Amino acid sequence: MIGFGLPLALCALPLALLPLAARWLKSGDVPRLDLRPADGASRAVDLGLTALGVTAIAALVLGISDPYLKGGAVPHRGNGSNLVLLIDRSSSMDDTFAGRAPGGQEESKSAAARRILQDFIEQRPDDRIGIAAFSTAPLQVLPMTTSRTAVAAAIAAQDERGLSQTDVGRGLALAMEMMRDASSLGSRAVVMVSDGAAVIAPPVQDMLRELAAEQGVNLYWLYLRTVGAKSIFDDGRPGESNTPQTRPERHLHLFLQRLGVTYRAFEAESPEAVEEAVAEIGKMEARPILTERILPRRDLDWLCHLLAAIAAGLLALARWFERPYAPRRPAPLMRPA
């Protein structure tokens, strides 16, 4: 859509019809033009001069009226999904995969997660992405949006030191709530990145079941396993203690499996493994989606002024080449004898 900064100036637009009536070059009388041959080049020049005049005035008036392309959201059919990234902000995320404080060339789990997520969203330009974090309490970081810069900034902002607790249940509930803003078309996915879990209280479990049935999300859990920690896929040796209190991760996995939604867990013990898991999620969550693209406002007046200048320059050139049909030098009436 085109908008105008000074729409009143458009009232002068009929002036552009002036070259249809007034001619640009000074004319000389030549009788019976219809009996004289006219070539194609002359016809083109004739039409071209009129067109140039109209163009010059119209472009100038348009340029003065300050046109611009209105920005705004444009519906866009892309390939991606509605994603909510649920990021664990517990203090253990600040450790490396080896369970130590990061030093030297090692990076912490949260830093690795941030780096890999940044790469991930960069490869998926059509996703609508929301970000939530959880530790002691769930925290909505960024509502669902298509703005890449906002998402990148939100992910980069997750480098503050984490808090102690890990309230997975309410974090998941928040992530699913955020799906209400999602585009109706396309798949919905919650990607949870965490390195641990906690017991989910029964009321929260009920709420999660309801939300999962309502929203129909796909759930991915990227479990950043510290070296030495037990696998979530493993029940452990017989006789070993296997209660929600002792092994919350295992039991969260079991709970999520029973939730009745598409669910997949990835266990990663190194940044490379995390990358593989993220690539896997990317492959699974690439389906047509209707999103919006934000277009910035663009000024067009320079284009109009350029056009007017070119047309005026060509008209000046035409004046330069102007000459009379034949020089007016009347001979004496009587030829001297």
Binding site for another protein (CB under 8 A): 23-39, 41-42, 45-46, 49, 318, 321-335, 337
Q: Residue 314: helix, strand or coil by DSSP? A: helix
Q: Which residues sit opposite 233 in a β-bridge? A: none
Whose Cβ is closer to another protein: residue 52's or residue 191's? 52
Whose Cβ is closer to another protein: residue 2's or residue 326's? 326
Distance in Å, CB of 309 to another protein, minimum:
20
Contact 67, 300 (CB under 8 A): yes
Rounded CA separation 167/164 (Å): 10
Distance in Å, CB of 1 to another protein, minimum:
39
Distance in Å, CB of 8 to another protein, minimum:
34
Whose Cβ is closer to another protein: residue 38's or residue 213's? 38
Distance in Å, CB of 20 to another protein, minimum:
12
Distance in Å, CB of 300 to another protein, minimum:
31
* 267: nearest Cα among 220, 218, 222: 222
Whose Cβ is closer to another protein: residue 49's or residue 111's? 49
* 170: nearest Cα among 206, 116, 119: 206
Q: Over the Cα atoms of the chain, what is R_g?
A: 36
Structure tokens at 40: 């194609």
Residues 6+ apart with CB under 8 A from 91: 135, 161, 162, 163, 164
Distance in Å, CB of 15 to another protein, minimum:
20
Whose Cβ is closer to another protein: residue 19's or residue 271's? 19
Whose Cβ is closer to another protein: residue 29's or residue 296's? 29
Structure tokens at 24: 């640009």
